[in-house]
Amino acid sequence: MEFDVSELVEAKRQIDSTLHKLRETVKTFEAKENPNRYKSQITLAKRRIEAFKISVSLIEREINNLDQKS
Per the prediction, the chain carries an average pLDDT of: 96
Express each pLDDT in 20-51 by its tens digit.
Answer: 999 999 999 999 999 999 999 999 999 999 99
Please state the pTM of the whole predicted model.
Answer: 0.90
Question: What pLDDT does residue 1 have?
Answer: 86
First-to-last CA distance in the chain? 19
Residue 19: which of 43, 47, 59, 61 has the closest Cα?
47
The values of phi and psi at residue 17, to 5°, are: -65, -45
Mean predicted confidence (pLDDT) in 4-29: 98
Question: What pLDDT does residue 35 have?
Answer: 95
Domain extents in the chain: 5-69
Q: Which residues contact 61 (CB under 8 A, 6 or more apart)?
A: none
